[in-house]
Amino acid sequence: MERSAGILLPIFSLPGPYGIGTLGAEARAFADFLHAAGQRWWQILPVGPTGGGDSPYTSVSTFAGNPLFIDLDALGAQGLLTPDELRAARLPETGRVDYDALRRSRETLLRKAFSRLGGARAQTVRDFTARNPWVKEYALYRALKRHFGDTAWFDWPDEALRRHESAALEHWRVELAEDVAFHAWMQQVFFAQWAELKAYVNGLGIRIIGDLPIYVSLDSADVWSERKEFLLDSEGRPSKVAGVPPDYFSEDGQLWGNPLYDWVSQKADGFGWWIRRVEGAGKLFDAIRLDHFRGLESYWAVPAESETAKNGQWEKGPGMDLLGVLTSWFPQLSFIAEDLGILTDAVHDLRNASGLPGMKVLEFAFDRPDNAYLPHNYASHCICYTGTHDNDTVLGWYTHAAKAERDYAESYLGASGEEPVRRALLRLGQGSVAELFVAQMQDYLGLGSESRINVPGVAEGNWRWRMESGCDTAALAAEIKTLTHTYGRC
C-alpha cells in the first residue's frame, strides 16, 4: 500500500431514514465526504446476513450479503415499492439500529417488492444464481430455516435434509420454491446495488477494505451444505469449538462457539473452499483484513461442552500453506493481517513470511517506551489505527484509562485533556511511518463511549451505533484533508 489514509465506518452505521445504513444515497454521500477529506480508503465490517447477537462476525453465510442493506429507494425507483410503502418504512433516527424492529418489518416489505417482479427481472435472478452456485444452497437454507420455525439446521426433523442428501434437497426445493426464489432475488439485488456503489467509490479514487472473519457460524448455510470442510461428528456437531484464551479483553477468554476447520482435508484439495470464499470477497472489496490472523498459525480449540474458553488448547493452523495459496491466487487484492491478541514469535514469523502488513493500535500503546504499538517503534510496512471496532473511541479510551496509562499518553503526546488528546492522537497516527493510517469516524467526530461499536465478550447491545445525518460536514472534511495532506497521505 502507498502512503495513504482511510476511515472506518460500517455500512450499518451510515445515516438514513430506514433504520439502518444502506447501499443507497447516504453511502455515496459518505464516499463524497471521504474524497473531500483526502482519504483513499473506506474500511467497513463484514456485510453478511447476521445471526446471533446481530454480529457481522456470526453470519449465516460467508458468501451472502445482508438484505437489510438493500437500498429501498432504488426499489421504489424500479416500481417495486410504492411511495406510501416507502414512507411507512421510515423509522425515527435515534442513532441506534433497532434490529428487532427491522426484523418485524423489513422482510414483509421486501416480499411485497418481490411479488411485483416481471419476467425479465425474474430471469436476471436465475442468471445470477447460475453464475453464483452458493446462492442455490443459501436460498434453500434460508427457506428451510423459515419453514422449520427458525431452528438450527442440525435440529431440523428430516435426517436426510440435515445430512444434505440430494433427494431430500430436491423435494424441498420444489416444496419451498417461491421462498427459495425470494431469497435468491434479495441476493441478486444486494450484489447489483453493491457493484454500483463500489464503482462509484472506486471512481472517486477510494478503495474499500473489507473484513473476512476467520470462522463461520455452526448454524450457517456453509456448514450445512459443506460439512466436509469442518471438524464435525456424524450428527453435524463439533467436539471442539473456536475461541480465544483469557486476555486483556476478558478474564474468561472468549468462547466463540464456531466449528473448527478440517485443515488436513482442506489442504489435500488445495484449499478450494478458501479460494471460493476469497473470490467472493474480492467482488466486494479491494483489500481484505484477515480476521484473527494468529489463528492461522495456531488456534485455540475449546471442548464443545465448556462454558468458558479457559479450558482450551493451542492447535496448529495452516500457516503459509493457506496464505501462499491466497496471495498467489489473488495478486490483485491487498491483504491485511489482523495480528492482535496473544502473539508469539511464530505468529510474527508467519506475518513476515506472508509479506502482509500487520496492525498497530494506538490505544494499546501507552504503557512503556518499548511497546510495539508506539509509532517510534514502527517499521513502515504496517497499518496504524486509533482503535478498531472492538475498541472504545479515542475519547472513551482516554476517559476510562488507568491513571498511569493516561499520564504516559499525555507525556508522549504533549497534550492533556479530552479534546487536545483526541487531536494529538489523530495527528500522531497521521504522522507515523505506517503505510496506511485508519481512524474510526467517531474519532474525527469527537464522540465518546456511547458510540462504541462493540465490546468483546458482551453478548447484547453491540453493532448498533449510527452516525447522525449531517455530521460529515464540508468543514470537517476540510479539516481532515489538511491534516492528511500535512503528513503526505493525500
Residue 291 is among the residues annotated as catalytic for this protein:
yes
pLDDT at 341: 83
pLDDT band at 448 (very low <50, low <70, confident <90, very high): very high
Which of 55, 78, 57, 68 is closest to 19 using CA atoms? 68
| C-beta neighbour count of 193 within 10 angstroms | 20
4-486 CATH fold:
TIM Barrel (3.20.20)
pLDDT of residue 249: 64
Task: State mean pLDDT over 341-351.
Answer: 93
Residue type, 480: I
Task: Return phi, psi of residue 191, to 5°.
Answer: -70, -30
- Position 264 scores a pLDDT of 96
Write the pLDDT tens digit of every residue in 239-274. 999 999 987 767 888 899 999 999 999 999 999 999
Helix and strand element counts for the chain (H, E): 20, 12
Domain range annotation of the chain: 4-486
Q: Name the DSSP class of 210.
A: E
Confidence band for 147, pLDDT divided at 50, 70 and 90: very high
> How far apart, in whole angstroms, are the C-alpha atoms of residue 362 and residue 422?
11
Residue 219 is a catalytic residue: no
pLDDT in the model for residue 52: 80
Q: Choosing from 390, 405, 418, 479, which is the catalytic residue? A: 390
Q: Say how many C-beta atoms besides its own lie within 10 A of residue 334's C-beta.
A: 18
Among candidate residues 137, 211, 222, 291, the one labeled active-site is: 291
The pLDDT assigned to 254 comes to 87
pLDDT, tens digit, for every residue of 68-99? 999 999 999 999 999 999 999 999 989 999 99
Res. 422: pLDDT tops 80: yes
- Please compute the mean of the pLDDT values over residues 135-161 and round it to a whole number: 97
| Range 180-206 average pLDDT | 98
Q: Which of 338, 339, 363, 472 is catalytic?
A: 338
User: Which whole number is the average pLDDT over 47-73?
Assistant: 95
Mean pLDDT within 98-116:
94
Query: Under a CB-based contact definition with an 8 Å cutoff, are residues 251 and 307 in contact?
Result: no
Give residue 247's pLDDT.
Answer: 77
This prediction has a pTM of: 0.96
CA-derived radius of gyration, the chain: 23
**Mean pLDDT of all residues in the chain?**
96
Q: Is 390 a catalytic residue?
A: yes
Contact 222, 62 (CB under 8 A): yes
Q: Nearest CA to 289 among 194, 365, 388?
A: 388
Tell me what percent of the residues of the chain surpass a pLDDT of 70: 100
What are φ and ψ of residue 360, in 5° steps?
A: -120, 115
Q: Residue 97 corresponds to which amino acid? A: V
